[in-house]
Each structure stands twice: as structure tokens, then as C-alpha cells.
A and B are shown apart, each in its own frame.
Chain A
Amino acid sequence: MTFIPKPKLHHPDLQKNALGFTRRDYEGPVSTLCAGCGHDSISAAIVKACFELDIAPHRVAKLSGIGCSSKTPTYFLGASHGFNSVHGRMPSVLTGANLANKDLIYLGVSGDGDSASIGLGQFAHSMRRGVNMVYIVENNGVYGLTKGQFSATSDKGAKSKRGVVNSDEAIDLVGMALQLGATFVGRSFSGDKAQLVPLIEAALKHEGAAFIDCISPCVAFNNHEGSTKSFDYVREHNAALNYLDVISGRSEITVDYAPGEVEMVTQHDGSTLKLRKLHPSYDVHDRVAALTYMQERAAMGEIVTGLLYVDPNPRDMHGYLKTVDRPLNELSDDALIPGGSALERLNASLR
């Protein structure tokens, strides 16, 4: 951790966004994580994404569970709503909050322990329900807070810092999210902001369950030779599928790439994703092909990153539940309690 607060002074030419905020206005207090933690890079990417999308900080609710990753919401979006929930229970708290007030932007931040071990069930059900949120797993493959035991996402065969080889199969959160109906699925790497920032932006714009698995090396316990989540390993085995540019509705779209290299994906909110494809034949709209491709590549020891799957016309939980347009927490007693005569009419209709 660092003892002094980050100085308020900033670059004299620091840009302001449409709301008049600088990027620095989206920061939180200085991080208390280990120096060099990948999670801090993800926090910086979230800060940048929210700044670039002109998001009003008070329209965001950031929720987390327990763990190194779940501490991070303190370190970004200092002026947003926050809820640090019980271990593994972030998804249900988020679902509840979303049910009550669907107007906020929900950002769930979790880790591999929080989501793939104690909270695996919660993770699965929030994906199934299609909660409109961005769910980021800061995935470092170890339990950093308890000195580096293998987590459930640790690859089989990976070596711990003490030299122990992991014999358990890894849980693939990306595969699960695809199977369970997430309508936006991506994977990225904390050390590649060029890919990560637009991916977070696209996820924030997505009106459905968006899941990002972000590999985030643990410099204290999982950045050694034999680790499969170290900076070096991820850089060597990163098979990036694509890079994104997020274009908000009003700006003009010009394509300056050869056909097959660029694909435009218009999201439901009117924003456009300009997908710079590194693998021309990969189809980001084919859930089944995506699953197959992931598994093939994983078998070859590659880590596929980028936007893996997106449904341009997603439905979310409120759509399935047919809730009214107004957020439930804004409904007054008049709307919620129709009165005795209405009850009688209802009862009569059922007789």
C-alpha cells in the first residue's frame, strides 16, 4: 500500500468529458493492494471507461463480495454508490438492487475465489436471469489474501510459488457464462488496456448480462515461472481475437479497414462496436461456435481474449418479468396498493 494520497494536482492539459469531469474525478482513494497488482490496472481501466462514456458517477452502483478484487471498488468511482457484500453474495445483492431500481448502471466486481468457489451458485443464477449488469471477475488464480493457495480457476498443472503442482481441473467462468445465457461475454488481461478499456465500455453499454473474465496477475503469489496467470505467461499465450472501438450513437462511422477485418455491431442502446478482427472467420454472434473455439484453443494452451460473444438484441431480467417501465422503488403507494375495490374485482374474476 501507499501512505500518501494521490496528489490532486493533475496534468494541465487533462481533458474534460461532456459532463465537465476529468478522468481524475472518477478515481477513488489510493489503493491499499500490493504494489503492481493487476487489479489496480483494472480499476484504472474502469475509471477510463466511465470517463470516456460520460457516465455520471451517481448513476453507477458498484457491488462486490470479499477478496482482493472485492476491495477494489473503493479505489475507483469515489462518487458512486457502493455495496461491499458478503463473500460470494454480490450477485444476489446486485440482482435485488437491480430489481428495485433498474435505472442505475450496475457494476459487479468479483474475484476467482468470490465467484468460482463460494459464490459459484450465485454467479450462475445471475447469468441465467440475465441481470442487466457488468460482471467483472478479476481473475488471478490464487487466494491472495490467504497467501496464495490455488483457486478454482487455477489451471491444472500450474505451479504454485512454492512449487506445488495443481491437480484439480480449472473452472472456466467464460464457458459457464456462455452456457448460462450471458448476452455479452469477453475475456481480457489487466496488462492490455488497449483491449480492456473498450471492452468494459462496450459491456457498460450492453443492456443485459455482460460478463468479463479479466486475467489479473497476482504479483505477490502468482507471477512466477510455472504460473499460468503471470504477466509473462499471459503475454506469451494471449491469442487476442479482436480489439474494439466503442462509438456512441451520434458520431459518424467510417470503416477504414479491408473487408473481413472489421465488423460493426450495433448494440440495442444505439452505440456501435467497431470490431477489429484478428481472426476473420470468428463469428461473435455464434454462442455454440464460441464455446467450441474456446475449448479448442484452451487445449492448445492458448488464452483467447477479446469480445467472445455478443447478442445485439439482448433481453434482461426486467424484460422476462415484465416489470413496469418505472423503477419499482419509484412507485408510490397509489400504484402499489390499488385498493379494496380493485381486490374485489380481481377476486370476482376468479370465482
Chain B
Amino acid sequence: MQPTDIKDPDYFHKVVDCQWACPAHTPVPEYIRLIADGRYADAFMINWKSNVFPGVLGRTCDRPCEPACRRGRVEDEPVAICRLKRVAADYKGDVSGRMPPKPTTRNGKKIALVGAGPASLTVARDLAPLGYHLVVYDSDPRAGGMIRSQIPKFRLPEEVIDEEVGYITDLGPEMRLGQRIDSLKGLLEEDYDAIFVGTGAPRGRDLPIPGRVEAAANIHIGIDWLSSVSFGHISKIGKRVIVLGGGNTAMDCCRSSRRLGGEDVKVIVRSGFEEMKASPWEKEDAIGEDIPILNFLVPKEFKHDNGKLIGMTFEKVKAEYDARGRRNLVPTGEPDHFFECDDVLVAVGQENAFPWIERDIGLEFDDRWDMPKVDETTFQSTHPKVFFGGDAAFGPKNIIWAVAHGHQAAISLHKFCQGEDVADRPPPMVNITSQKMGIHEWSYDNNISLDLRFKVPHRDKFAALKDIKAEVELGFDDKLAFQEAQRCLNCDVQTIFSDKLCIECDACVDICPVDSISFTENGEEADVRTRLSAPATNLTQDLYVSKPLKTGRIMAKDEDVCLHCGLCAERCPTGAWDMERFLIDVAQAGAFGAENACCSK
């Protein structure tokens, strides 16, 4: 194997599994340390810079970081990263003084942002301080997009949205709310230098099966219904409710129904329970509110009595896998299942819809999916002035992806407006600093907590179900937050090896609690992986390999389950191992780089 190039910013970035998995690459261990230190405002600002909506995401994020968390590979469960983010937002106090000031001068460029959801607002936040004249359009009367319209208030209180959307609107973009854009052609004819489309995936998929039309009065499209609930247009539902679909929208629908008069609410899905798209914790919360989830049932017909919905029939299926591992749902032959109900909520998926984009303006669409052709790096469409982001770019994902898209699109918009090449992407800022304070002292807490994941306290179920606006999760208090934060392994504090200093005494091999370090003959990677202190079977995790040492052997460290406890460095007599904090700051268009570096100090 070739010696590892640790100068490549991606190498250590990958070791910080959570940050690498996060679409916005939030420096998770860095803010978790600040939370442990009680520096909530600092922790919040790191989040705010990276993911723009810490309070919102701390409650609703899909948390790609958590399945990636190294802690989940050395014990049962990952660190509760998402809920720690909320802690930073809950206890930060007043941070208005730390927000970038509203720019006093304009740079003369004007950009239209279509949609006021997370993608557009991220673009606005990144570009506003640079002096752009930003105009944000949305058909809803209030900004926030799906954050406001689709997420029930018992998961995300309105004040949190108001506050975090407010930090952006305070930067001075022109908000034209309640104003729907019906023609991109028309918009292009206005005096905009560029246009960003962040209109999300606004169309809920329907279920055209028999009875749909006749019983329409009691059949609702999930996201539209949630939006109506959110804006106060709907405040009750029948006693018996069936929710169709297995995603997070379905979970929001069923739990909202329980709060609006639904007593017998059930979720019915085509697939198996395990393959449902909803996050495991959302399923858990739904089940906890007495909502059964019935699986392998394919909707067949809405039954009605002269247009009055009385129930639904389903065909029972089972999963069969073909030779290529593809799943087919085949009927079991059982008689159809019938469930009585008063209302049905259809949450079987979302689609993009661009009826307002003319197809003759030089903006190409993909024939197969009828989606605009968008560059995956620059987010530019085939019309050079038009950029996409969020669900509008590549189909339904989630808030954190929308934010990540927004950052990248903002860079492109900035470069485009300044006449630079949008394909030339700015590199990340990398900072690597030794944590050594004394012979056995480190400027991070290297003692590994053995605590298991702490549960977030919930509101009493009886009280929670009575009020659709009562937040169910109460968040960690400072004590629980500290204990949970201590579970973080500080994966950003990297083990750095200097081959010239090593005397091959084996001290690091002997002390390593997880058998990560080996000194062995070099060879092909597949072979080296089998010859280590513990076989390195997780191929997604790199081996850190040194140049040949004095004996001709190499040092090979399996990054997989390293606890970053620093014992290798403590037991090294020559300082060949050092623990160095690796901070990587993904480039952003805004001027937050220098400013935010201060708040982590």
C-alpha cells in the first residue's frame, strides 16, 4: 500500500463520520464539545453558519449523521447528535448581536429566489451580507416553505421557525410573500441578474383506485392536509382514520389526526414495516401514540355509501426477491382485508411540479422524469441564469439536503454574478492543531464515557394528544445534555503518526483499547486488512498507512472503531503519535468564514 496522504482534506474529513455524512458538513464534534462546556451560543453559531436552521433541524432533521456515528459501531447506539443541536438552540440566549449585520451598501446585482423554503432561505442568508438585492417569492403568506407548512407544530413550534427565518429576513432580502410565480419566462424578462428556484416538491401523489372520485370529500392528500392544518384551515377529522403511506409525512398525518379527534387511527403500508421510509424514531413515536402500523397491504378500493366513505379494502401481499435481489410484492391469496374509516389521508409520496416553467425558454427538461437538467455540483440549469436547489433540483429529499444545495447554489450565483466560472469551486478551509497541553494533558476531554444513549424526555401523552401545538419532545436539560455530549468520541481529534519518530516499541499497539494499530509487512490492501491486530472488515473505513519504518514494516491503523482517546499518543515515548484537532470548513459564499472562526475560539 502507498503511504496515506493526510494532506488530502478528504482523508481526515472521512474519519469524522458524522460531519462527512452531513450534507452541509456541520463540524459536529466541535459543537458537541462546546455544549459540554456550556457554551451554547458558540455551539449554536457553528451550527447556524453551517446548517442555517439549528433549532428547526435539532427537532426535525433526518440525521444522516447518526447512523454514521462511530459510537454506534463500538456500542449500541450513536450519540444523540440531533437532540444536542437542539440543546444549543434552546439555551443559547440572545445571539442577535452575533449575526452578520444588514449590509449598508448594495453590490448592484439583483437575484430572484422562487420559494421561501430552506433552500432559498439558505441562498438568501449566504448572499445577503455580500450586498445582493434579493427578492424572495412564495405563494404562502409566511416564509419557511415546508418547514412551516408540512411539519406539525407538536414537533416544531412556530416560534422556532419565526426566530430562525427571522435571522435571515433581518439581513434585508425583499420578501414578496403571498405572491406566486406563474411564469419563469416572465420572471426572466424582469431585471434579475440570476434566478434561484427552490420551490420544493409541492405535489402530493394521489391514489387513483376505485371509489377515489366518489368518496373524495373524505379523502385528503397528506401534505396538502398538513398544510391546511398548519395554517389553521382544518381543525378536526373523523374518529376513524386510515393513513396510507410509510414515510415521515404519513407519520405526521397520523399523529396530527390523533390530536384532531382521531381515536382509531391506523397507518397502512404496502411494504414491510422494516422497509418503510419513515425514520425509525418517527415510527416509534407514532406507535407510542397508539397508532398501529399494518404492513403488506396494497390499497384496492375506497368503499362508499352513496359518496360517503365507509372504509377501504386491501389486498394482502408478501415480499419475494428475485435472483437480482429486487423485491416484488405478490398476493398471498388471502381474502381482501376491509377496514372501516371516516377519513383517509394519502401520504404515498411527493412529486415535483413545474407547470410554471415554460419549455421553450432554453431550460432543458429530462424526458424520463420531466425534471429540469441541473448540474450536480453547480446547481446551474441549462439556462445559465437559472439555478435550482432543494427538492426542486433532484426530487424530494429533506431539509438538510436543501440547506446544502443552497450553500452550493449561493457560491454559483455569486460567481455567476461576478462573471467568474461557476465550475471552479472554492476549496475548503482546513485547520489542524495539536491538542497537546502537557505530558498527559490534552485540550479535549479524552476520557471515554461509558454511558448509553440518553432518552429525550417527552410530554405526558394525555396532555400531548390534547393540544396539536404542544411540543411532544421536551429536549435535554443541561445535565442530560452534558452527559450525552460526553458520549461523543471527538473523532475530529485525529491520530497523526510521524514515521521518522517511531522506534517500533509496540506501546501504542498494546494500549489501544480497540486494537486499531498494527505494525506489519506491507502488501496489497485486501491482504493487509486481514493481517492487523483486529481484521479490518469495514471496507468503508480507510486504513491509515505509514511509510516503511526501520524494520521495513509499516504502521497500519484501521480508522473504523478508533475511540480517539489519545492513549496511543500518551504511551508513545517519542511523540510519534500526536492528537490534532482537524477542523474543516466547507466553503460558503457569505463572509462568515472569518467571523465565525472567532466564535469557536
Chain A contacts to B: CB under 8 angstroms: 1-14, 24, 30-31, 34-38, 40-41, 43-44, 190-191, 193, 217, 219-220, 223, 231-232, 235
Contacts of B567 in A (CB 8 A): 2, 4, 6-7
Can you list 29 contacts pairing A with B, beta carbon distance less than 8 Å? A2-B570, A2-B571, A7-B447, A7-B450, A7-B563, A8-B448, A9-B74, A9-B75, A9-B448, A9-B513, A9-B514, A11-B516, A12-B74, A12-B561, A35-B571, A36-B505, A36-B571, A36-B573, A37-B507, A37-B573, A40-B510, A40-B511, A40-B571, A41-B505, A41-B507, A43-B510, A44-B509, A44-B510, A235-B551
Shortest distance between the CB of A137 and any CB in chain B (Å):
19
Contacts of B275 in A (CB 8 A): none
Decide if B534 is an interface residue (CB 8 Å cutoff): yes
Among residues of B, the one whose C-beta sits closest to the C-beta of A219 is: B573
- Contact yes or no, A6 B570, CB < 8 A: no
Pick from B440, B504, B534: contact of A14, CB under 8 Å: B534
- Contact yes or no, B504 A231, CB < 8 A: yes
Shortest distance between the CB of A160 and any CB in chain B (Å):
18
Among residues of A, the one whose C-beta sits closest to the C-beta of B506 is: A41
From 437 to 485 in chain B, residues with beta carbon under 8 angstroms from any chain A beta carbon are: 440-441, 446-448, 450
Shortest distance between the CB of B203 and any CB in chain A (Å):
44
Contacts of A5 in B (CB 8 A): 447
Task: Digitize B523-558: 1 where CB-to-A-CB distance is under 8 Å, 0 elsewhere.
Answer: 000000000001101000000000000110000000
- Contact yes or no, A35 B507, CB < 8 A: yes
Shortest distance between the CB of B46 and any CB in chain A (Å):
26
Among residues of A, the one whose C-beta sits closest to the C-beta of B535 is: A13
Closest 7 CB pairs of A and B: A36-B573, A7-B448, A44-B510, A219-B573, A4-B447, A36-B505, A36-B507
Provide the bound-state CA to CA distance between A10 and B512, in Å.
9
- Contact yes or no, A223 B73, CB < 8 A: no
Contacts of B551 in A (CB 8 A): 235
Contacts of A43 in B (CB 8 A): 510
Provide the bound-state CA to CA distance between A235 and B504, in Å.
11
From 158 to 188 in chain B, residues with beta carbon under 8 angstroms from any chain A beta carbon are: none
Provide the bound-state CA to CA distance between A8 and B561, in Å.
13
Chain B contacts to A: CB under 8 angstroms: 73-75, 440-441, 446-448, 450, 503-507, 509-511, 513-516, 534-535, 537, 550-551, 561, 563, 565, 567, 570-574
Provide the bound-state CA to CA distance between A26 and B292, in Å.
48
Q: Knowing that A11-B516, A44-B510, A232-B503 touch, tell me 12 more A-B residue pairs with CB under 8 angstroms.
A: A9-B450, A10-B74, A12-B561, A36-B503, A36-B574, A40-B571, A43-B510, A44-B506, A44-B509, A191-B505, A219-B503, A235-B551
Contacts of B509 in A (CB 8 A): 44
User: Mostly helix, strand, loop or mixed at chain B's interface?
Assistant: loop
Shortest distance between the CB of A318 and any CB in chain B (Å):
35
Contacts of B441 in A (CB 8 A): 3
Shortest distance between the CB of B509 and any CB in chain A (Å):
8
Provide the bound-state CA to CA distance between A41 and B516, in Å.
16
Given contacts A9-B74, A41-B507, contact A34 B573 (CB under 8 A): yes
Given contacts A9-B563, A41-B510, A193-B506, contact A36 B74 (CB under 8 A): no
Among residues of A, the one whose C-beta sits closest to the C-beta of B438 is: A3
- Contact yes or no, B505 A1, CB < 8 A: no
Given contacts A11-B561, A36-B573, contact A4 B446 (CB under 8 A): yes
- Contact yes or no, B506 A10, CB < 8 A: no
Pick from A7, A40, A223: contact of B565, CB under 8 Å: A7
Contacts of A3 in B (CB 8 A): 440-441, 570
Shortest distance between the CB of B553 and any CB in chain A (Å):
11
Contacts of A13 in B (CB 8 A): 534-535, 537
Pick from B440, B447, B550, B574: contact of A232, CB under 8 Å: B550
Shortest distance between the CB of A337 and any CB in chain B (Å):
51
Given contacts A36-B503, A193-B506, contact A4 B565 (CB under 8 A): yes
Among residues of A, the one whose C-beta sits closest to the C-beta of B551 is: A235
Contacts of B75 in A (CB 8 A): 9
Shortest distance between the CB of A177 and any CB in chain B (Å):
26
Given contacts A12-B73, A13-B534, A13-B537, contact A6 B507 (CB under 8 A): no
Contacts of B507 in A (CB 8 A): 35-37, 40-41
Contacts of A36 in B (CB 8 A): 503, 505, 507, 571-574
- Contact yes or no, A35 B573, CB < 8 A: yes
Provide the bound-state CA to CA distance between A163 and B379, in Å.
69
Pick from B73, B505, B510, B572: contact of A231, CB under 8 Å: B505
Among residues of B, the one whose C-beta sits closest to the C-beta of A15 is: B534
Contacts of A9 in B (CB 8 A): 74-75, 448, 450, 513-514, 563
Contacts of B503 in A (CB 8 A): 36, 219, 223, 231-232
Provide the bound-state CA to CA distance between A44 and B551, in Å.
21
Among residues of A, the one whose C-beta sits closest to the C-beta of B449 is: A7
Contacts of B448 in A (CB 8 A): 4, 7-9
Provide the bound-state CA to CA distance between A8 and B447, in Å.
11
- Contact yes or no, B447 A11, CB < 8 A: no
